[in-house]
C-alpha cells in the first residue's frame, strides 16, 4: 500500500484545468498549489504497479510538464496479496 | 475526526512534496484527515435530453469533477452519453452569468445591477404593460428544461395573478403534436408503457427519430436487445440513413412528408392480410374521421386505406422502397410478440404532426400491439422536463396543471379553488401559443415578455422574422439563463439563474417518471433559483398593481428558504391540490418518497404506499395501474379513463396523406431537413462551452447525397450557400450517403450568424397542435467556394 | 517505516529517481522523453479525433467502429479526453463514468484494458 508525495508542475495558466484533471484520477489527492504552477499531491494506491501506472498517467497528461515523487512510503507490503502471489514480479 | 495512521503518512507525504517546491500548504491535520473523506457523490438526473438518466455528481473538496451513471438505475443502467458525462463543466464555468444585467434600450450596453433593482424593474415593466394594455399584453415563454416547480409557479402568477393565459414554452416546438396525437388517439397524454418495454419488445418501429444521436442511452438499450436477440426486428423509417440505421434489419428511406402514405399502406396490408386484432377492436376501439371526429366504422376505415396499396405508397414515397418492403414490415409489426414504435421530431415537427402521430397509434390499436409487455406506441421527448413540467404542470397556453383544458369552466374553477383566488380569475380563452406570441411581439401586441431558460432567437423557425420584433424596444424582454445566448442579445434584463445541482426540484422524463435532484453546489456569484426569482417578482407585482390576489398566489411560499423548503412547498401544492383524481395523479410522490426512491416514481401514483413500489409502469391495465381499478366501469382488463375520450375508447383516425407546407419546385429544388448531432444539445449554449463536446463538432454541416453533390460539382468540405424563401446559410458540405436524393440535412445547434439554420426553415405549423414544420421546407443550394477553415462561435 | 522496501520495489525506486531528475534540472516546456501527439494549431484542434485517426490509425478506428462503443457512438474523447486532458491510457475513472459497477466486480489489481482489449472491447478469456 504505497503512499507518495508528488510535485506536479504545470504552466500557471493551466493550473485550474490540471487540478480538474487530477481530481478525476482515482488515488490522487491534491493538497495545495502555488501560482508558479506547482501542485502538491499525495498518491495513494494499492500496489507499486498501480503507483507506477498512476505516475505515468499523470505524466502523460499534456497539461503536466512534469510529475515527480519526493517521498515514498511502502509499508504493509507483506499483507499485499498481489505481491505475495508474485503477480507483480 | 480521528486521524488514522494512513492520514498521518499522507500528511508526511504532502509536506515532503510541499517543502520540495516551497509551497505553503494551507491545511492542518484535521483538514488532511478530512480530505480523505471529501470525495462525495450526489444523486440526481441528467440535465440534458428527455431520457432522464440517473447519475451522480462527483465532488472533491466542494468542487465538482465528474459525473457517472448509476448501475442499478432503471432508465440508464449506469450508462451516460458524452453530454451526460461532461455537463458538470457548466457548474462554476467562467462564463456563467453571475449578476443581474440591465439596459433600458436594446442598443445600450448592459450594466450590472442589484437583484433588488432588477426585480423592481421586472415588476414595473409587467405592471405598467398590464395597466396600459391589459393582461394579454404580457407573456411568459418557458422551457422543458425548467424544473416542474418553476414552470408551475410562473404559470400560477401569470394566470392567477396577472389574469392571462399567455403562458407557453419551447415544448410547443417539439412535443405539441405528440400531445395532440395521444389525446386524439388514446384520450390521454403521454405514453402508456415504459422504457422497460424495450427489453421485452420483439419488433422496433423507429420512425422520424435518430435515436442513436438524440437519445443515445435509450438507443444503447435497443441495440443491446437487438444484439442479444438477433431475431428481434428493427425497422428504421426515415428520409435519412443515420447511425440509428446501423442496427436496422430494414431501412425504409422515403421522400420527406410521404410517411402518412407509408403508415396508411401498412394499415392496408394489415387489414388485407387479416393481421388485425378483431377482439381488441371490438372491446376497446372506435373509428373517427374529419375535423370534428365524426363516427366511422371498421368497414369505412378499410375502404379508406384501400387506395394506399403498398405499390401506390412505394411510388409516393419516392422509389427507394418497394411494395414488398412495406408488406414485410407490416407483417413484422403486426405479428411480433410485442411491437414498440419510437418516434421523435421527424413526426412531431410537421404541418401534419398530429395526423402522423395518429397514424402510428392507428397501427398499434389495429393490431392490439399495446398494453402488453414489449408493445407500445412510445413518443420520445427531447427535453428533461417537457413532460413533467410543461405538459403536466400547466406550461402550455391551453392547459392548466393536471392536464386540465383551460376552456372548461369546471377545470378552471378547480384550479381557482385550490389557489384560493376568486372564481373566474383565470380567463376562459386559451392564451397565445408560441408562434402567435412571437407574431404578437412583431405586431406590437406583447409589451413585456419573460423568456426563461430557452433561446427562441435561435430556435424559432424562420427566426429572422421573429428576431425583428425581439430587437425593437417595443417589447421589454427579460431572460433568465445561466449563459448568454442569441436571445440574451435582445434582452433588456438578464437574470442569472442557478443551474442543475445548484437548486432543488423535480424532472419528469418521457416515461412519466418523476425524479428529484437536490442542490449540491452553490450557484456562482449572485445566481438564484428561478422559484426565488418568481416569488420575489410576484411580491413586487402585487404591490405595484395593488392587487391582493397576486399576493395570495405566493402567500403559501412566503419566507421559505429557496434551496429546499420553497420548491418542496410548491411541489406539495401542485401534487396534493391539483393532481387528485387526474390521470397524472402524483399525490403519493412527495419529496420524502422521492428521497427514498432513487429511481423516482412513475405516475399515476395516488398514494405513498403505491409510490414506494415505483408507481405505474403501464397505464390503463388493471392490477398494474391503480387508476384502472379505481376508475373501472366494466369487467374488461383495460380501462381508458383519460380525460379526452368520454366513450373511454381508443380511436382509430381516418387521416389521408397530405403534403408538407412547402414542396420543392424549379426555383427551390431541394428539401431541407434539420436535426441534432450527438455531441451538442439544442442551441449549444451549454455543450458549446465544454471543450470535449465543442471540438467534436465545432460547427454545423449540411449533408448532401453523393449523387446530388456530383450533379452540382460539390466536393466534401466545399462551402455551400443554402437559401430558402426566408433566409440563407453558408455551411460546409458533408457528402454522405445519408439524406435521400433531393434532400439536404443540416444541424441546428450552431450559433454563428451564417450557420443558424432556423433562418432558413419554415414557420408554418400544424393547425391543431401549432407545432411548426421545422423538418421540411424547400431550398436551393449553390457551391460558393472550396473548403474554408471555420471557427466555432458562442455568444459571449 | 521503510523497512519493507523490497526488491520488488526497486524498479519503482528507479522510476522515482529518474522522475526526480528532470525536476531538478528542468528548464523548459519540452517533454522529449514522452510519446507525444503531433503539435496542432488551435484551428487543427477543431478537427474531430476520429476524422484524422481514420487515416492515422486506420486499424484502431476500424476496431472501434465495429465495437459496441462504435455502434453506441461512444467517441474517442469520452475515454481519452481532449487535448488539454489527453491520456493515452484512460484511467479507471474514465471507465467508471458508465461502468461504475464493474469497478467492484472486476479484479481490483488489474487495469481495465488488461482484460478488455482496447477499442474492440472483447474480453480476454481467463483460463480456469
- pLDDT level of residue B678 (50, 70, 90 thresholds): very high
Please say whether the beta carbons of B180 and B316 come within 8 A.
no
Helix axes B115-133, B530-544, angle to 10 degrees: 50
Closest residue to B223, CB basis, from C43, C72, C84: C72
Give the per-residue pLDDT at C30.
Answer: 39
- pLDDT level of residue A89 (50, 70, 90 thresholds): very low
The set of cell numbers assigned to B1 is 475526526
Question: What is the least distance, in Å, from the CA of A76 to any CA of chain C?
Answer: 7
Please say whether the beta carbons of B42 and B56 come within 8 A.
yes
**Is the overall model pTM greater than 0.80, yes or no?**
yes
CB contact under 8 A, A23 and B13: no
CB contact under 8 A, A32 and B60: no
Sheet order of strands, B601-602 included: B505-508, B513-517, B601-602
Give the per-residue pLDDT at B47.
Answer: 97
- Look at residues C77, C103, C120, C101 and name the one whose alpha carbon lies nearest to residue B79: C101
Structure confidence by residue, pLDDT tens digits, B377-415: 999 999 999 999 999 999 999 999 999 999 999 999 999
Which residue in chain C has the smallest CA separation from A4? Answer: C16
CB contact under 8 A, A59 and C19: yes
Q: Which residues of B touch A71 (CB under 8 A)?
A: 12-13, 16-17
Question: What is the least distance, in Å, from the CA of A7 to any CA of chain C?
Answer: 9
Express as a percent the part of chain B with pLDDT over 70.
97
Give the per-residue pLDDT at A70.
Answer: 83
- Interface chains of chain C (3 or more CB pairs under 8 Å): A, B
How far is the C-alpha of B19 from the C-alpha of B25, rounded, in Å? 9
Question: DSSP letters along B544-568, please?
Answer: HTT-HHHHHHHGGGTT--TTTHHHH
Give the per-residue pLDDT at B702.
Answer: 97
CB contact under 8 A, C100 and B678: no
Residue C100 lies in a domain: yes
Residue B392 DSSP SS3: coil
Q: Which residues of A touch C5 (CB under 8 A)?
A: 74, 77
Which residue in chain C has the smallest CA separation from B79? Answer: C98
How far is the C-alpha of C76 from the C-alpha of C82, rounded, in Å? 9
- Confirm or reject contact between C41 and chain B (CB < 8 A): no
Give the per-residue pLDDT at B130.
Answer: 98
Average pLDDT over chain B reads 95
Instruction: Quickly tell me which residue has 371526429 as its cell.
Output: B293
- Look at residues A33, A40, A44, A29 and name the one whose alpha carbon lies nearest to residue A75: A44
CB atoms within 10 A of CB B38: 14
When pLDDT is averaged across residues B526-530 and rounded to a whole number, the result is 98
Q: Is the pLDDT of residue B61 over 70?
A: yes
Which residue in chain C has the smallest CA separation from B247? Answer: C71
Best of A15, A25, A36, A40 to substitute, by most chain B Cβ atoms within 10 angstroms, is A40
Best of B57, B245, B247, B691 to substitute, by most chain C Cβ atoms within 10 angstroms, is B691
Instruction: List the beta bridge partners of residue B702.
Output: B733, B746
- pLDDT level of residue B781 (50, 70, 90 thresholds): very high
- pLDDT level of residue C11 (50, 70, 90 thresholds): very low
When pLDDT is averaged across residues B172-189 and rounded to a whole number, the result is 97
Q: Is the pLDDT of residue C34 over 50?
A: no
Say which residues have a Cβ less than 8 Å from residue B129's Cβ, sequence separation at least 6. Answer: B137, B138, B447, B448, B476
- Confirm or reject contact between B16 and chain A (CB < 8 A): yes
Which residue in chain A has the smallest CA separation from B58? Answer: A24
Give the per-residue pLDDT at B81.
Answer: 96
Range of the domain at C56: 41-128
Q: Which residues of C touch A83 (CB under 8 A)?
A: 8
Instruction: List the beta bridge partners of residue B653.
Output: B288
Residue C104 lies in a domain: yes
Residue C125 lies in a domain: yes
Say which residues have a Cβ less than 8 Å from residue C45's Cβ, sequence separation at least 6. Answer: B695, C83
How far is the C-alpha of B573 from the C-alpha of B349, rounded, in Å? 34
How far is the C-alpha of B513 from the C-alpha of C113, rounded, in Å? 36
- Look at residues B716, B710, B720, B757 and name the one whose alpha carbon lies nearest to residue B734: B716
**Domains: count for chain C:** 1
- Confirm or reject contact between C26 and chain B (CB < 8 A): no
Residue C3 lies in a domain: no
The set of cell numbers assigned to B637 is 382488463
Q: Is the pLDDT of residue C5 over 60?
A: no
Please say whether the beta carbons of B640 and B648 come within 8 A.
yes
Which residue in chain C has the smallest CA separation from B695? Answer: C46
CB atoms within 10 A of CB B148: 28
Q: Are strands B138-142 and B167-169 parallel, antiparallel or unpaired?
A: parallel
Question: What is the least distance, in Å, from the CA of C18 to any CA of chain A?
Answer: 9
Structure confidence by residue, pLDDT tens digits, B182-238: 999 999 999 999 999 999 999 999 999 999 999 999 999 999 999 999 999 999 999
Closest residue to B216, CB basis, from C45, C73, C82: C73
- Interface chains of chain A (3 or more CB pairs under 8 Å): B, C
How far is the C-alpha of B144 from the C-alpha of A58, rounded, in Å? 40
When pLDDT is averaged across residues B747-765 and rounded to a whole number, the result is 97
Going by the DSSP 8-state scheme, the letter that residue B634 receives in this structure is: S
When pLDDT is averaged across residues B537-560 and rounded to a whole number, the result is 97
Q: Is the pLDDT of residue B36 over 80?
A: no
When pLDDT is averaged across residues C83-100 and rounded to a whole number, the result is 88
End-to-end CA distance of chain A: 16
- Look at residues B10, B5, B58, B57 and name the one whose alpha carbon lies nearest to residue B31: B10
Angstrom distances, CA of residue C50 to CA of B456, C55, C77, C88: 33, 9, 9, 15
Residue C71 lies in a domain: yes
Helix axes B259-272, B298-305, angle to 10 degrees: 120
How far is the C-alpha of B200 from the C-alpha of B454, rounded, in Å? 36
Cis peptide before B604 (omega within 30 of 0): yes
CB contact under 8 A, B791 and C43: yes
Q: Give all strands (DSSP E) within B396-471, no chain letters.
A: 399-400, 404-405, 448-452
Instruction: Quickly tell me which residue has 449578476 as its cell.
Output: B99
Q: Is the pLDDT of residue C77 over 90?
A: yes
Going by the DSSP 8-state scheme, the letter that residue B615 receives in this structure is: B
Structure confidence by residue, pLDDT tens digits, A13-52: 888 888 888 887 888 888 888 888 889 999 988 888 888 8
Structure confidence by residue, pLDDT tens digits, B424-460: 999 999 999 999 999 999 999 999 999 999 999 999 9
When pLDDT is averaged across residues B101-110 and rounded to a whole number, the result is 97
Question: What is the least distance, in Å, from the CA of B688 to any CA of chain C?
Answer: 12
Per-residue burial over B257-273, b = 16 or more CB atoms within 10 Å of its CB, e = otherwise? bbbbbbbbbbbbbbbbe
Which residue in chain B has the smallest CA separation from C78? Answer: B82
- Confirm or reject contact between B78 and chain C (CB < 8 A): yes
Q: Map out the domains of chain B with their CATH numbers.
A: 1-37 (no CATH), 101-174+385-563 (3.40.50.740), 176-380 (3.40.228.10), 584-641 (no CATH), 670-785 (2.40.40.20)
Give the per-residue pLDDT at B228.
Answer: 96
Q: A3-84 adopts what CATH topology?
A: Alpha-Beta Plaits (3.30.70)
Structure confidence by residue, pLDDT tens digits, B598-629: 999 999 999 999 999 999 999 999 999 999 99
Give the per-residue pLDDT at C121.
Answer: 86
- pLDDT level of residue B357 (50, 70, 90 thresholds): very high
How far is the C-alpha of B344 from the C-alpha of B341, rounded, in Å? 10
Residues of C with CB under 8 A from a CB of A: 1-6, 8-9, 11-13, 15-16, 19-20, 22-23, 26, 29, 31, 34, 36-37, 81, 83-89, 91-94, 96, 108-109, 111
Amino acid at each position: 500500500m504505497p503512499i507518495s508525495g508528488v510535485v506536479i508542475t504545470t504552466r500557471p495558466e493551466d493550473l485550474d484545468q490540471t487540478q480538474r484533471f487530477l481530481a478525476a484520477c482515482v488515488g490522487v489527492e491534491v493538497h495545495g498549489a502555488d501560482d508558479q504552477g506547482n501542485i502538491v499531491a499525495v498518491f495513494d494506491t494499492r500496489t507499486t504497479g498501480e503507483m507506477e501506472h498512476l505516475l505515468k498517467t499523470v505524466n502523460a497528461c499534456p497539461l503536466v510538464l512534469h510529475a515527480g515523487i519526493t517521498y515514498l512510503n511502502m509499508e504493509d507490503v507483506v499483507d499485499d496479496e498481489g505481491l505475495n502471489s508474485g503477480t507483480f514480479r | 475526526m480521528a486521524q488514522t495512521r494512513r492520514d498521518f503518512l499522507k500528511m508526511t507525504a504532502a509536506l515532503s512534496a510541499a517543502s520540495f517546491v516551497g509551497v505553503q500548504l494551507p491545511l492542518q491535520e484535521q483538514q488532511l484527515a478530512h480530505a480523505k473523506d471529501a470525495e462525495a457523490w450526489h444523486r440526481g438526473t441528467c440535465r440534458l435530453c428527455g431520457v432522464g438518466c440517473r447519475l451522480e455528481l462527483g465532488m472533491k473538496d466542494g468542487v465538482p469533477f465528474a459525473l457517472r451513471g448509476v448501475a442499478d438505475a432503471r432508465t440508464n443502467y449506469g450508462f451516460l452519453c458524452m453530454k451526460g458525462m461532461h455537463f458538470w463543466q457548466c457548474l462554476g464555468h467562467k462564463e456563467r452569468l453571475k449578476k443581474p444585467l440591465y439596459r433600458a434600450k436594446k442598443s445600450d450596453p448592459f450594466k450590472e445591477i442589484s437583484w433588488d433593482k432588477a426585480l423592481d424593474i421586472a415588476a414595473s415593466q409587467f405592471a405598467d404593460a398590464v395597466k396600459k394594455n391589459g393582461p394579454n399584453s404580457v407573456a411568459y415563454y418557458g422551457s422543458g428544461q425548467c424544473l416542474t416547480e418553476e414552470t408551475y409557479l410562473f404559470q400560477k402568477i401569470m394566470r392567477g395573478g396577472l389574469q392571462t393565459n399567455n403562458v407557453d414554452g419551447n415544448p410547443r416546438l417539439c412535443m405539441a403534436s405528440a400531445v395532440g396525437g395521444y389525446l386524439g388517439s388514446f384520450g390521454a397524454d403521454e405514453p402508456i408503457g415504459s422504457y422497460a418495454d424495450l427489453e421485452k419488445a420483439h419488433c422496433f418501429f423507429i420512425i422520424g427519430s435518430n435515436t442513436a444521436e438524440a437519445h443515445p442511452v435509450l438507443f444503447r438499450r435497443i441495440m443491446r436487445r437487438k444484439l442479444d436477440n438477433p431475431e428481434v426486428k428493427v425497422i428504421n423509417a426515415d428520409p435519412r440513413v443515420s447511425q440509428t440505421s446501423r442496427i436496422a434489419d430494414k431501412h425504409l428511406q422515403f421522400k420527406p412528408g410521404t410517411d402518412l402514405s407509408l403508415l396508411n399502406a401498412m394499415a392496408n396490408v394489415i387489414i388485407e392480410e387479416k393481421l388485425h386484432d378483431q377482439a381488441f377492436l371490438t372491446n376497446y376501439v372506435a373509428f373517427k374521421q374529419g375535423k370534428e371526429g365524426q363516427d366511422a366504422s371498421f368497414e369505412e376505415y378499410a375502404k379508406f386505406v384501400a387506395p394506399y396499396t403498398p405499390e401506390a405508397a412505394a411510388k409516393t414515397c419516392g422509389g427507394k422502397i418497394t411494395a414488398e418492403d412495406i408488406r414485410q414490415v407490416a407483417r413484422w409489426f403486426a405479428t411480433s410478440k410485442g411491437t414498440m414504435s419510437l418516434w421523435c421530431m421527424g413526426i412531431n415537427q410537421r404541418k401534419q404532426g398530429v395526423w402522423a402521430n395518429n397514424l402510428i397509434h392507428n397501427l398499434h390499436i389495429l393490431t392490439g400491439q399495446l398494453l402488453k409487455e414489449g408493445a407500445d406506441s412510445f413518443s420520445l421527448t427531447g427535453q428533461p422536463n417537457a413532460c413533467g413540467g410543461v405538459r403536466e404542470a400547466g406550461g402550455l397556453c391551453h392547459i392548466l396543471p393536471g392536464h386540465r383544458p383551460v376552456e372548461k369552466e369546471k377545470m378552471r374553477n378547480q384550479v381557482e379553488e385550490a389557489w384560493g383566488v376568486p372564481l373566474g380569475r383565470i380567463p376562459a380563452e386559451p392564451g397565445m401559443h408560441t408562434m402567435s406570441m412571437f407574431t404578437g411581439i412583431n405586431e406590437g401586441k406583447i409589451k413585456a415578455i419573460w423568456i426563461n431558460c430557452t433561446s427562441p432567437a435561435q430556435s424559432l423557425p424562420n427566426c429572422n422574422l421573429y428576431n425583428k420584433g425581439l430587437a425593437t424596444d417595443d417589447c421589454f424582454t427579460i431572460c433568465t439563463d445561466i449563459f448568454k445566448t442569441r436571445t440574451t442579445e435582445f434582452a433588456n434584463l438578464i437574470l442569472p439563474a442557478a443551474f442543475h445541482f445548484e437548486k432543488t426540484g423535480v424532472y419528469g422524463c418521457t416515461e412519466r417518471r418523476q425524479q428529484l435532484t437536490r442542490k449540491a453546489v452553490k450557484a456562482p456569484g449572485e445566481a438564484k433559483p428561478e422559484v426565488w426569482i418568481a416569488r420575489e417578482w410576484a411580491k413586487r407585482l402585487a404591490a405595484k398593481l395593488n392587487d391582493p390576489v397576486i399576493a395570495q398566489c405566493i402567500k403559501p411560499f412566503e419566507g421559505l428558504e429557496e434551496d429546499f423548503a420553497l420548491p418542496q412547498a410548491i411541489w406539495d401544492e401542485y401534487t396534493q391540490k391539483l393532481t387528485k383524481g387526474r390521470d397524472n395523479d402524483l399525490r403519493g410522490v412527495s419529496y420524502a418518497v422521492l428521497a427514498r426512491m432513487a429511481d423516482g416514481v412513475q405516475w399515476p401514483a395516488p398514494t405513498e404506499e403505491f409510490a414506494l413500489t415505483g408507481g405505474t409502469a403501464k397505464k390503463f391495465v388493471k392490477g398494474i395501474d391503480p387508476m384502472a381499478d379505481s376508475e373501472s366501469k366494466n369487467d374488461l382488463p383495460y380501462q381508458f379513463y383519460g380525460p379526452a375520450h368520454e366513450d373511454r375508447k381508443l380511436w382509430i383516425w381516418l387521416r389521408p396523406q397530405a403534403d408538407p407546407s412547402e414542396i420543392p419546385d424549379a426555383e427551390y429544388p431541394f428539401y431541407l431537413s434539420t436535426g441534432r448531432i450527438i455531441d451538442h444539445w439544442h442551441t449549444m449554449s451549454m455543450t458549446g462551452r465544454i471543450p470535449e463536446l465543442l471540438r467534436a463538432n465545432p460547427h454545423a454541416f449540411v449533408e448532401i447525397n453523393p449523387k446530388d453533390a456530383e450533379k452540382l460539382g460539390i466536393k466534401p468540405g466545399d462551402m455551400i450557400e443554402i437559401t430558402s424563401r426566408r433566409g440563407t446559410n453558408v455551411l460546409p458540405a458533408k457528402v454522405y450517403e445519408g439524406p435521400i436524393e433531393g434532400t439536404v440535412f443540416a444541424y441546428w445547434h450552431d450559433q454563428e450568424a451564417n450557420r443558424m439554420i432556423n433562418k432558413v426553415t419554415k414557420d408554418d405549423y400544424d393547425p391543431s397542435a401549432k407545432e411548426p414544420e421545422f423538418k421540411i421546407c424547400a431550398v436551393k443550394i449553390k457551391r460558393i467556394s472550396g473548403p474554408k477553415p471555420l471557427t466555432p462561435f458562442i455568444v459571449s | 517505516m521503510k523497512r519493507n522496501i523490497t526488491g520488488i520495489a526497486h524498479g519503482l525506486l528507479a522510476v522515482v529517481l529518474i522522475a526526480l531528475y528532470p525536476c531538478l534540472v528542468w528548464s523548459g516546456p519540452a517533454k522529449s522523453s514522452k510519446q507525444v501527439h503531433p503539435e496542432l494549431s488551435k484551428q487543427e484542434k477543431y478537427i474531430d479525433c476520429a476524422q484524422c485517426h481514420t487515416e492515422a490509425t486506420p486499424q484502431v478506428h476500424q476496431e472501434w467502429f465495429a465495437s459496441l462503443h462504435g455502434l453506441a457512438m461512444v467517441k474517442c474523447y469520452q475515454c481519452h479526453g481532449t487535448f488539454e486532458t489527453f491520456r493515452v491510457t484512460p484511467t479507471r475513472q474514465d471507465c467508471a463514468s458508465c461502468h461504475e459497477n464493474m469497478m467492484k466486480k472486476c479484479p481490483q489489481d488489474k487495469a481495465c484494458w488488461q482484460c478488455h482489449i482496447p477499442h474492440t472491447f472483447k474480453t480476454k478469456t481467463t483460463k480456469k
